[in-house]
Amino acid sequence: MNYILFYYIFPLEPCLFLTTKHASYFILAAYFDTGALKYLYFIVIICLYILIICANLLLIVVICMNRGLHEPMYVFLCSLFVNDLYGSTGLFPFLLVQILSDIHTVSVPCCFLQVFCLYSFASVEFTNLAVMAYDRYIAIRFPLQYNTRMTYNKVVMLIVVIWLPPCVAIFVTVSLNASLQLCGNIINKVYCNNYSIMNLACSDITVNNIYELTAASLIVSGPVSVILYTYIRILKVCFSGSTQTRQKAVSTCSPHLASLLNFCFGIYFEAKQSRFSMDSVPNVLLTFLSLYFVTCPPLFNPVIYGLNMSKIRIRCKILIFRFVGKCKRKQ
């Protein structure tokens, strides 16, 4: 259920299954008075959100409607686009409400629900990119055995691995933090942040820290190990293979590398901005950098893959031309 509905129904009331002692709502202190500019920000953000929805939905529909794209690589791409829609929906409706609001508060259940959405989005995105790297390794290393190695059952198992472990890990994190006793309710961000909430705790957080350190290590080390291993093996194949093999590797891996670097760039600035003082950086830039990890990947991924992968690009053009043609005939 979308937490934004909770925001309207229970604007300042704690939920029975997510209660935090001595706090029924949080204050988001990173918002500042922009006067009439808030309407301009609202228009820019809603246009950005609509663009993200349209771009990702277009590619999801293209992949689902064309049997020629029902291959493992495109299934993992479809999972990536679904996650991008999920992550952006966990942020943009909330931002739109807060921008137009004069009081920047969020109820406790909505705050923890947003934490779950954003952190699970980031975890699933990273795991998805790792699985895509493994898929590209199999395609380049074993081109003739690709279909026998990437079977239907294996693809289903990898999709489960992409979504289930990260979501379970983040759910446990949110559950542990929801039981903390807080001695404050001010979050210096424009959205709910797990690190900021833990800084408000005045009860023992040893268990939370141990669990989160372990979970974060596994969530990061697993995908990083897979990505490093697969790209090392791909490089070996490229150096020992023919020119055609190298060209294939570059064409199939360049969109993935661009997507991976874009996402890691956003995560780096979110972590740096949350944990280290950046007083010398303007507030507007700080806000943008903190939102980068959940804004730019959903926006750029459809562009990166739509422009670089000929099969998707051709089918997108066909789908758009058919839609335009139907609209003209109706007129």
State the SS3 of 232-269. Answer: HHHHHHHHHCCHHHHHHHHHHHHHHHHHHHHHHHHHHH
Q: What is the mean pLDDT of residues 298-319?
A: 80
Residue 2, pLDDT > 70, answer no
**How does 19-37 read in b/e, with b if 16+ C-beta sit within 10 Å?**
ebeebebbebebbeeeeee
Yes or no: say if 297 and 47 are a contact pair by the CB < 8 Å rule.
no
Phi, psi (deg, nearest 5) at residue 286: -60, -45
State residue 31's pLDDT score: 84
Q: For residue range 254-292, what is the model confidence (pLDDT) as tens digits? A: 888 889 999 998 888 888 777 766 666 677 778 888 889
pLDDT in tens, 159-180: 999 999 999 999 999 999 988 8
Confidence of residue 331 (pLDDT cuts 50, 70, 90): low
Q: What angle do CA 179, 19, 186 make, to 5 degrees?
A: 85
Write the single-letter amino acid at 294.
V
Helices and strands of the chain, counted as H and E runs: 12, 3
At 187-214, the pLDDT tens digits run 888 899 888 888 888 888 889 989 989 9
Q: What distance lies between CA 89 and its chain's CA centroid?
A: 10
Segment 130-156 mean pLDDT = 91
Backbone angles phi, psi at 35, to 5 degrees: 65, -135
Q: pLDDT: is 243 or 296 the higher one?
A: 296
Domains and their CATH numbers in the chain: 3-12+20-330 (1.20.1070.10)
What DSSP state is assigned to residue 144?
G
pLDDT, position 19: 45
In whole angstroms, how far apart are CA 148 and each of 37, 73, 144, 164?
Answer: 57, 14, 9, 25
**Pair 296, 270: CB distance under 8 Å:** no
pLDDT digits (tens, 9 = 90+) for 8-47: 333 433 333 344 455 688 999 888 777 788 899 899 999 9
Partnered with residue 158 across adjacent β-strands are none
What's the pLDDT tens digit per position in 74-110? 999 999 999 999 999 999 999 999 998 888 899 999 9
- Predicted TM-score of the model (pTM): 0.86
Mean pLDDT of 294-304: 92
Average pLDDT over residues 217-244: 86
- The predicted pLDDT at position 57 comes to 93
pLDDT of residue 8: 37
